[in-house]
Amino acid sequence: MHNGFVTVDDEKMSKSLGNFLTIRDVLAQYDAETVRYFVLSTHYRSPLAYNADAMDAATSALSRLYTALRDVEPGDAQSDIADAFEARFTDAMADDLNTPAAIAVLFEMARDCQRLKQEDRETAAAIAARLRTLAGRIGLLEQSPQAFLQGQAGEGDLSADTIEAMLQARREARAEKNFARADEIRDELTAQGIVLEDGPDGTLWRRS
């Protein structure tokens, strides 16, 4: 099966233009699942526009899906809501392999899962399990949420150990009611592309 032409920064990819990339080139910069999401987010018959903004958007989109799966253990309870989502996902895939429409269903599932975490943990767990299953059919959401969201540090990025040390310093500052220092640490992390999410069970972090 052939996909549409690949463009790089609005020009058709070709060796003559010097904008030719191999999959190895792309994987040197981006996680393989991000590349897969990028390809699947466009219908296979349509042109595929590769650029840094598109890849960053793919990373951000996957982060939203993984965030929905975080803090909820997928369960095997029966759920009419999950069944309805699966039917729509299957219909989209049966419609000339309409992966963008199928992915849109995954985002609806993620939205409901996130909302129900506080209201109905059992249903949230059932949706999370089905979300994993359906996404797995197209090679997505195959990592743990923590592994994807915290990712591998690139050149110049803070390491996980450094981030954890800074979070510990922030916890100590808050315990001492030194909120100015706590905010300062948060700002330092934000400037380095680290997003903090404070919750009742502590602080979670992810790379933006």
Q: Are 185 and 170 in contact, with CB atoms under 8 Å apart?
A: yes
d(C-alpha 58, C-alpha 3), whole Å: 18
Contacts of 180 (CB under 8 A, 6+ apart): none
- Coil, strand, or helix at residue 150? helix
Q: Distance between terminal CA atoms of the chain?
A: 34
The full set of domains in the chain, from first to last, is 6-144 (1.20.120.640), 160-207 (no CATH)
Residue ranges of the chain whose pLDDT lies below 50:
none
- Chain center to CA of 198: 19
Instruction: Report pTM.
Output: 0.81
Picking from 85, 89, 100, 91, the residue whose alpha carbon sits closest to that of residue 45 is 100
Predicted local distance difference test score (pLDDT) of residue 2 = 67
Partners of 207 in beta bridges: 194
Q: What is the pLDDT of residues 131-145, one digit of tens each?
A: 999 999 999 999 999
